[in-house]
Structures are given as structure tokens and as C-alpha cells.
């Protein structure tokens, strides 16, 4: 089993292109919504890929090393999951030239680019389906879809659609991936953009494609072009059938997100903001329950897969965590600490690092307020920057082994170890101060006898007592502590760099 090495060291940033930034090189149509007004379900804001290029310095300073874009191909929807043409970047995003320029600019900064592959369904405007709408039973492309009768009704909901569509949404006709021409078409789309230079594919609702061998062939053809390309599937629950080494490198880890929100936000979770979603960030989890959930999750897949899971707290498909937690900043802070220290590749949803709120779609897809820095939560931005820097500095936080050390009374403690480098992560989700003793002999560096504890992130106390650590944690806070001898702990490269 092999997964891309770079993903294990990556920090991802998810961008919804229409809402991130307007660039200076794309002429805009007249009927765009004002940038600083609340988003609507169907309205366009006019963000584009040149806008992303203009803010790569910001992302680089934040510590981002990979970007996942929701769909960018030509579409008649602001989210672009209704694909018209898989070979053309949407003109409102700047067209193909914008993607070429973005790939060049990002790669010069060692930032990877992962695109969204929507291969289960397409749109009414997709040429092959549009031909059927125009020519009915005389179209040569009938086998590309599942036609169930005539006439087709693509827009009138009072009549039978007479074709299969994703989730019954007649705007999204399902492709017939059992047909060899459809299958080959999609494989060639994936290959084309890899040859252009993208670094991987995020796959939309891949569980909907049940054609035997489809994803196995997809992996073989993708890896034949770029063995280090990242393949990540949108699967919200137990993904073992897809994570055996023959299909995906990882999935969007909503199992991690749900449990982490339930632990850090607890009873603060607003029920209406998580209802109807395919993850369960409630009821609240105690420290013991959360620790058990994380142990179960880490046993679910091989370690090589764990290190390339796409870990997240929210996305374009969920309300934002700050809103889910009813505005409680500490919940987001604690969850972000866990995100940046847990095995797998952490992913920041654009704007989370400045405290951008958002309820359910379309509100979770607000525009980034570049021209209103007074609305940013600069404390939130600062701890994102610091935690990302720590992850880049300490190899143990990226590929180190995982060790559960303590879970009780609202406090969860675990260690990451890489050779002689050991970091202990402590999270106190309780409303009161906690003083705990934690046995460290199982993770302490082998050399030396006297342990030294150095707090590299957070506020509290940490004192070494033989093979134990005595820790004091203020309410609703967390710490990262470097464990070693006095010599190994004497220098903090992150503090030196900052």
C-alpha cells in the first residue's frame, strides 16, 4: 500500500472559487451580486482563479501547502457541480488560462492543487445530454444516460423526468458508467488535467458509482501518469471498502469532524445547523467517549491511509464550526488544536482562519472580506498561523505514532512520537481548571533519564516528575508540550523563526 508522501506533510485550504476573491484579469458580467452582501442560493459573486493567484502570498504566510478547489469547470451554477464541459474552466473563473497561471504560480511556492471531480452526474447543459433533449429518441448518445421513457421532462417538475438523476434532482442527470464510452471519457478527463499539472482529484459522491472495477481502473490510470497524485473521496462515514489500497488514498474525514465537534463544542452545538447532514456532531461527547471514538477511528484503516486522510472541521456542505458552536470561540480553538495535531492532512475551510461565520448553504459560502480586515478575528488568525507553523516544524505532528495517554473529567491527552521527538497534546474542554498527572514512560525519549517538559503552545503549567508529567490546564484551553531531556528541549525552532 502506497499513499503520496507529500500529503502526509500537507496543510490544505479549501476554496469555493466564486466566493474567495475577484481578480483583476477577468472581465465581469453586469449581473453579479455585491461582494459584501449575504450569498443567495443561485447568485454569483464573481470570484475567480486570478483572485486566488493574487492571494497566494497570504496563503503561503498562513502555512498552506495545498489547495482543494470545489469544481471549476464550465457550469451553469455558482458551485459548478452541474458540469457543462469537463475540458473547459468556467469563463467566469478566468478560463483555462487562469488555471494554467494558477498552477505555475502555486507550484513555484510549493503549493499543490487538487481539483474536484464530479463524475457520477453532469448537467442538462452537458453536450451529450443536451443532444438527447434536442433530438429525443434519435440522439446517438442515449446509452450515456439511463432513459426510462418519453418525453423527457428536464425542467417541469409536474411531469416524470423519465431519466435517472442524482438524488432525484433532474438538473443532475446521472452518467451511465457501465457504458464503456462513458467510462473511457471520464478516465481521459482525469488523465488530461493530471498531464496539465494538477496534483490530485477530490471525488464527489464516489459511492454512487457502483460499476465494478471503475475506481480501481481510475486509480491505476491516475497513478500511471503521476504516482504521487492524491485521490480523496467524499465519503462521510466508514470508508473501508474504498481504502484498501486499490482505490483512494483517503476520504474527507467527517468521522473525525463529527466527534471533535461533539467533544469541543458539546452542548453548545446548535441542532438546526447540523440537522439533515451525513455526520453526527451531537450529542456531546465526554473526554472518555471522545478518546474511545478516536481509538476506533485510528483502527479503522491502515496507518499509511491514516496519514493521508483529509481531516476537516467544516466545509461547503456544512455550516461553519463557529456558527455550529453558537459563536463559542473556545470550541473552535480547541477543535483546531486537535485538527492540527491529529494524524492525517488537516484542511482549513477558507475564512475559518479569520472567524468567518456561516449557517447552512448558502450562508456557509460567504465571500472572504478582503477589504474589511476590521471584521477579521485576528486572534483566530494568529492561532491558526502558530499551530500550522508548529505542524510544519515538528515531524512528530505529521507522521509520528499516536499514543493515548489520558481521558477523564473533560481532559483528553495524547502523544505523537517520531524517533526521539515527542509532543504531548492536552485539551481541557471543561469549564474549570484541571490539574492532572500523566504517565509519560511509554512515550519518553529513550536517551537520558531526567525528563524536561517545554510548553511550545498554549498556557498552563507542565512539570516533569520522574516518569510523570504534572500539568495544569485553565478551563477551555489546550497545550502542546515537547518532551525530552533538558538538552533536546532547550531550543524552540518555531519561536526562533517567528
Same domain? For 304 and 185 the reply is yes
Domain that holds residue 442: 400-497
Domain presence at residue 115: yes
- What is the pLDDT at residue 485? 63
pLDDT (mean) for 8-25: 98
Same domain? For 80 and 209 the reply is yes
Same domain? For 235 and 250 the reply is yes
Same domain? For 253 and 280 the reply is yes
Is the pLDDT assigned to residue 487 strictly greater than 60? no
Give the CATH number for residue 107.
Answer: 3.20.20.80
Same domain? For 303 and 446 the reply is no
Please pick, among 18, 48, 90, 234, the residue that the annotation labels catalytic.
234
- What is the pLDDT at residue 12? 99
Total domain count, the chain: 2
Same domain? For 406 and 387 the reply is no
pLDDT (mean) for 472-484: 97
- What is the pLDDT at residue 497? 43
pLDDT (mean) for 386-410: 98
Last residue of a domain, one of 393, 408, 442: 393
Is the pLDDT assigned to residue 287 strictly greater than 90? yes
Confirm whether 295 is a catalytic residue. no
Same domain? For 376 and 414 the reply is no
Is the pLDDT assigned to residue 490 strictly greater than 50? no
pLDDT one-digit tens code per residue, 330-351: 999 999 999 999 999 999 999 9
- What is the pLDDT at residue 491? 41
Same domain? For 191 and 327 the reply is yes
Same domain? For 472 and 349 the reply is no
Please pick, among 48, 204, 317, 328, the residue that the annotation labels catalytic.
204
- What is the pLDDT at residue 180? 98
Tell me how far CA of residue 490 lies from CA of 275, 363, 451, 453, 457, in angstroms: 48, 47, 12, 10, 15
Confirm whether 317 is a catalytic residue. no
Same domain? For 281 and 235 the reply is yes
pLDDT one-digit tens code per residue, 364-385: 999 999 999 999 999 999 999 9
Average pLDDT value for the chain? 96
- What is the pLDDT at residue 449? 61
Domain presence at residue 78: yes
What percent of the chain has pLDDT above 90? 95
pLDDT one-digit tens code per residue, 211-222: 999 999 999 999
What is the value of pTM for the model shown? 0.96
Domain presence at residue 143: no
Q: Please choose, from the candidates 355, 342, 353, 338, the residue with its C-alpha nearest in 3D space to the C-alpha of residue 428.
A: 338
Give the CATH number for residue 462.
Answer: 2.60.40.1180
Same domain? For 259 and 380 the reply is yes
Residue 465: which pLDDT band, with cuts at 50, 70 and 90?
Answer: confident
Domain presence at residue 213: yes
What percent of the chain has pLDDT above 70? 96
Last residue of a domain, one of 375, 393, 411: 393
pLDDT one-digit tens code per residue, 159-199: 999 999 999 999 999 999 999 999 999 999 999 999 999 99
Amino acid at each position: 500500500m502506497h499513499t503520496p508522501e507529500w500529503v502526509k506533510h500537507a496543510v490544505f485550504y479549501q476554496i469555493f472559487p466564486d466566493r474567495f476573491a475577484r481578480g483583476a484579469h477577468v472581465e465581469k458580467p453586469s449581473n453579479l451580486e455585491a461582494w459584501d452582501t449575504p450569498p443567495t442560493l443561485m447568485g454569483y459573486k464573481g470570484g475567480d482563479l486570478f483572485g486566488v493567484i493574487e492571494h497566494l502570498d497570504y496563503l503561503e504566510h498562513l502555512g498552506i501547502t495545498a489547495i482543494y478547489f470545489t469544481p471549476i469547470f464550465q457550469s451553469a451554477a455558482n458551485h459548478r457541480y452541474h458540469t457543462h464541459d469537463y475540458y473547459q474552466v468556467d469563463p467566469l473563473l478566468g478560463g483555462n488560462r487562469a488555471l494554467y497561471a494558477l498552477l505555475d504560480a502555486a507550484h513555484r511556492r510549493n503549493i499543490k492543487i487538487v481539483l474536484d471531480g464530479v463524475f457520477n452526474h453532469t448537467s442538462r447543459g452537458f453536450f451529450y445530454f443536451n443532444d438527447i433533449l434536442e433530438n429525443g429518441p434519435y440522439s446517438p448518445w442515449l446509452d450515456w444516460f439511463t432513459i426510462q421513457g418519453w418525453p423527457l421532462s428536464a425542467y417541469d417538475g409536474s411531469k416524470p423526468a423519465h431519466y435517472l438523476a442524482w438524488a432525484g434532482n433532474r438538473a443532475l442527470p446521472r452518467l451511465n458508467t457501465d457504458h464503456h464510452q462513458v467510462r473511457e471519457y471520464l478516465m481521459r478527463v482525469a488523465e488530461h488535467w493530471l498531464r496539465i499539472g494538477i496534483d490530485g482529484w477530490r471525488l464527489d459522491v464516489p459511492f454512487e458509482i457502483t460499476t465494478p472495477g471503475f475506481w480501481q481502473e481510475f486509480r491505476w490510470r491516475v497513478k500511471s501518469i503521476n504516482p504521487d497524485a492524491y485521490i480523496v473521496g467524499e465519503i462521510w462515514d466508514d470508508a473501508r471498502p474504498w481504502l484498501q489500497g486499490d482505490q483512494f488514498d483517503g476520504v474527507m474525514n467527517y468521522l473525525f469532524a463529527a466527534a471533535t465537534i461533539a467533544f469541543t463544542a458539546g452542548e453548545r452545538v446548535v441542532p438546526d445547523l447540523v440537522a439533515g447532514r451525513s455526520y453526527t456532531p451531537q450529542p456531546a461527547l465526554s473526554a472518555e467517549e471522545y478518546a474511545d471514538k478516536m481509538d476506533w477511528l485510528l483502527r479503522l484503516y491502515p496507518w499509511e491511509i491514516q496519514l493521508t486522510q483529509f481531516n476537516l472541521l467544516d466545509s461547503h456542505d456544512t455550516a461553519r464550526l463557529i456558527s455550529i458552536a453558537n459563536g463559542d470561540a473556545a470550541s473552535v480553538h480547541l477543535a483546531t488544536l486537535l485538527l492540527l495535531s491529529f494524524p492525517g492532512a488537516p484542511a482549513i475551510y477558507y475564512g475559518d482562519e479569520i472567524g468567518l461565520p456561516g449557517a447552512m448553504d448558502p450562508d456557509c459560502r460567504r465571500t472572504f472580506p478582503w477589504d474589511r480586515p476590521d471584521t477579521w478575528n485576528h486572534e483566530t488568525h494568529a492561532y491558526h498561523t502558530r499551530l500550522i507553523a508548529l505542524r510544519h516544524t515538528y515531524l512528530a505532528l505529521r507522521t509520528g505514532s499516536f499514543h493515548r495517554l489520558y481521558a477523564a473529567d473533560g481532559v483528553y491527552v495524547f502523544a505523537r512520537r517520531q524517533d526521539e521527538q515527542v509532543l504531548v497534546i492536552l485539551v481541557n474542554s471543561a469549564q474549570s481548571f484541571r490539574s492532572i498527572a500523566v504517565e509519560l514512560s511509554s512515550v519518553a525519549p529513550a536517551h537520558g533519564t531526567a525528563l524536561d517538559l517545554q510548553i511550545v503552545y498554549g498556557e498552563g503549567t507542565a512539570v516533569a516528575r520522574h516518569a510523570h508529567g504534572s500539568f495544569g490546564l485553565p478551563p477551555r484551553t489546550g497545550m502542546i508540550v515537547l518532551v525530552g531531556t533538558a538538552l533536546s528541549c532547550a531550543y524552540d525552532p518555531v519561536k526562533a523563526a517567528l
